[in-house]
A and B are shown apart, each in its own frame.
Chain A
Amino acid sequence: MFGRSLYAVFAVVTLATACGGGQESYASVVDKAKNAKKLVIGVKADQPGLGLRTPNGDFSGFDIEVATYVAKQLGVEAKDITWKETVSANREAFIEQGQVDMVVATYSITDARKQKVSFAGPYFVAGQDLLVRAADAALTGPEALNGKKLCSVAGSTPAQKVKSEYAKEVQLQEERTYSACVDRVLGGQLDAITTDDVILAGYAAQHAGKLKVVGKPFSTEKYGIGLKKDDTAGRKAVNDALEKMFSDGSWTKALQASVGSSGFALPQAPKLERY
């Protein structure tokens, strides 16, 4: 009785959701782009400079620029892209279930994730870094965090890494959103925020003059474009598009436009990994 009702409710809700996403499926993102002339792209919606839903309902940021460029190369105009918000927890699921055709959402290429999805790119190499108050000269790197208070977003591993590898005496605060972290650092209650430098640069740009990125990354995160597992044709096409974006200068321009105002040192375009 109990188990059955539980599963019944589960079945009802999953059916309800499954019906919502009933779309034609294509073997490769290339086919979909060519035939349907439309793409659904998963992006972050709450990260200024990378993927942010703006008040006019559009999305803006570096990830969005990259995705738009790649889509264009695949034959899909910007107006035919449907942006879909993804959060860290559901990116693999969205790709596997075909709810999105690709994910461009500060998505680090890792071996564990390669088991579930295929990656094109990397289109950006980020590194874990710190965001501190602009007036704070003492915090120069993760080693200086002993006795300080560090903010990170719940469910992310970077903060644990700081504690275990660099500063045993650091105190960690978990927040739901980076905006809340920023509020606490600006309010003086906490001292630093940690995550990938380019994400931090987005916040530094939002609060120019009040926050700064320390600029000593202590890890490498390769951002890839997530595609359906074993979509070899799609991976090649997306990689070709990225290659073109790197070489014709659009990549640097997009990066400059998105996070340039933070004073963040813009890196060179990365080298693609065509595995």
Chain B
Amino acid sequence: MTYANLYEPPGPRGIRRNRTLAAGVALVLLAVAYFVFVRFDEKDQWAADKWAPLLRGDVWATFILPGLAGTLAAAVTGVVLAGLFGIVFATARMSDHRWIRVPAAAVVEFFRSVPLLLLIFFAFFGSFALLGTNISAFSAVVFGLTLYNGSVIAEIIRAGVQSLPRGQREAAFAIGMRKGQVMRLVLLPQALRAMMPALVSQFVVLLKDSALGLIVGYDELVDRGLNGIAANFSNVIPAAILIAAIFILINLSLDRLAHRLSATRRT
């Protein structure tokens, strides 16, 4: 999408002015980059011995890949459980029975308002007092990811169902389907398809949030990768740049996937 309608196509003078402005912008950006470069250089952040380890195979095998595996394990488990949670609570919130609808709404609204970090802390540090045993960091992270993202997904699915034309529901009832069947066979499949882009962007959020595992020492990309590498080579900044790049790559490909999904849907 371009926004060229916001301005006149530049004439010869406009083109010249734009060139000058573009040069000015480039200059400013370069100046900022140079400032960062020099300041980091003063602190030896560009030193080869801080960056070289990031290219070593054994560093990847010991820190980054296991960290990536941890991140993906938490994220995939979280996506599956949050998806289930979302479907169950979205359905419950649209129930005809008040005594199901109201509590389901309360649960969803509650977990949407509570910061994920609090949920993870509660599970990790509170589990001993509650259950008499300490749950693992993985469980604590998945617990938080599931409840928080599950509630958000429940709302996305509900919005999806409500956006469907009424005729769908009425037609399904007309051919004699029961309530559960209407939801399961007619409404949910369409709602999930319609909401796929929103769901994928929520999965991106979930993946990014799994980095909070670092707070409870879960072996994911930040804890195992960044902290593990930094403990060996004391290169926090270079390692953080690498880990951030990995996250950005994964998320951008998920983004692209979401675009593809929404594009195929329209045709």
A and B touch in the complex (CB under 8 A): yes
Once the chains are docked, how many angstroms separate the CA of A46 from the CA of B231?
5
Interface pair A90/B43, CB less than 8 Å apart? no
What residue in chain A is nearest B229 (Cβ atoms)?
A: A55
Interface pair B139/A16, CB less than 8 Å apart? yes
Once the chains are docked, how many angstroms separate the CA of A6 from the CA of B217?
23
Interface pair B134/A179, CB less than 8 Å apart? no
Once the chains are docked, how many angstroms separate the CA of A207 from the CA of B230?
13
Once the chains are docked, how many angstroms separate the CA of A182 from the CA of B44?
13
Q: Interface of chain B, helix or strand or loop or mixed?
A: helix
Shortest A99–chain B CB gap in Å is: 9
Interface pair A13/B107, CB less than 8 Å apart? no
Within 8 A of A (CB), among B91-122: 100, 103-104, 106-107, 110
Selected from B81, B103, B230, the residue in CB contact (under 8 A) with A1 is B103
Interface pair A53/B234, CB less than 8 Å apart? no
Q: Please tell me the size bucket of the interface on B.
A: 35 or more
Interface pair A179/B135, CB less than 8 Å apart? no
The contact string, 1 if C-beta is below 8 Å from chain A, for chain B 217-237, is: 101000000011011101011
Selected from B61, B106, B231, B232, the residue in CB contact (under 8 A) with A177 is B231
Within 8 A of A (CB), among B235-260: 236-237
Which of B29-37, B141-149, B175-183, B193-201 participates in binding chain A?
B141-149
Within 8 A of A (CB), among B37-68: 43, 53, 56, 58-59, 61-63
Interface pair A55/B58, CB less than 8 Å apart? yes
Selected from B56, B59, B130, B236, the residue in CB contact (under 8 A) with A179 is B236
B128 near A: Cβ within 8 Å? yes
Across-interface contacts of A82 in B (CB, < 8 A): none
Selected from A14, A56, A87, A207, the residue in CB contact (under 8 A) with B217 is A87
Within 8 A of B (CB), among A1-32: 1-2, 5-6, 9-10, 13-14, 16-17, 20
Interface pair B234/A57, CB less than 8 Å apart? no
What residue in chain B is nearest A187 (Cβ atoms)?
A: B43
Interface pair A55/B131, CB less than 8 Å apart? no
Interface pair B134/A55, CB less than 8 Å apart? no
Once the chains are docked, how many angstroms separate the CA of A112 from the CA of B105?
44
Once the chains are docked, how many angstroms separate the CA of A206 from the CA of B146?
41
Selected from B123, B133, B139, B217, the residue in CB contact (under 8 A) with A89 is B217
Within 8 A of B (CB), among A156-172: none
B203 near A: Cβ within 8 Å? no
Q: Please tell me the size bucket of the interface on A.
A: 35 or more
What residue in chain B is nearest A18 (Cβ atoms)?
A: B133
B168 near A: Cβ within 8 Å? no
What residue in chain A is nearest B61 (Cβ atoms)?
A: A57
Interface pair A90/B217, CB less than 8 Å apart? yes
Interface pair A2/B106, CB less than 8 Å apart? yes
Interface pair A97/B104, CB less than 8 Å apart? no
Interface pair B231/A93, CB less than 8 Å apart? no
B190 near A: Cβ within 8 Å? no
Once the chains are docked, how many angstroms separate the CA of A17 from the CA of B141?
13
A47 near B: Cβ within 8 Å? yes
Interface pair B61/A54, CB less than 8 Å apart? no
Across-interface contacts of A179 in B (CB, < 8 A): 227, 230-231, 234, 236
Across-interface contacts of A63 in B (CB, < 8 A): none
Once the chains are docked, how many angstroms separate the CA of A82 from the CA of B156?
45
B202 near A: Cβ within 8 Å? no
Across-interface contacts of B215 in A (CB, < 8 A): 176
Interface pair A177/B139, CB less than 8 Å apart? no
Q: What are 25 A-to-B residue pairs whose CB atoms are below 8 Å?
A: A1-B104, A1-B107, A6-B147, A10-B127, A16-B139, A20-B136, A45-B228, A46-B227, A46-B228, A47-B231, A55-B56, A55-B63, A56-B62, A57-B58, A57-B61, A85-B217, A85-B219, A90-B137, A97-B134, A177-B231, A179-B231, A179-B236, A180-B230, A180-B236, A183-B236
A residues at B contact (CB < 8 Å)? 1-2, 5-6, 9-10, 13-14, 16-17, 20, 45-48, 52-57, 85, 87, 89-90, 93, 97, 176-180, 182-183, 186-187, 206-207
B residues at A contact (CB < 8 Å)? 43, 53, 56, 58-59, 61-63, 81, 100, 103-104, 106-107, 110, 123-125, 127-128, 130-131, 133-139, 142-143, 146-147, 214-217, 219, 227-228, 230-232, 234, 236-237
The 8 closest A-B pairs by CB, nearest first: A13-B139, A93-B134, A179-B230, A46-B231, A87-B217, A1-B103, A55-B58, A17-B136
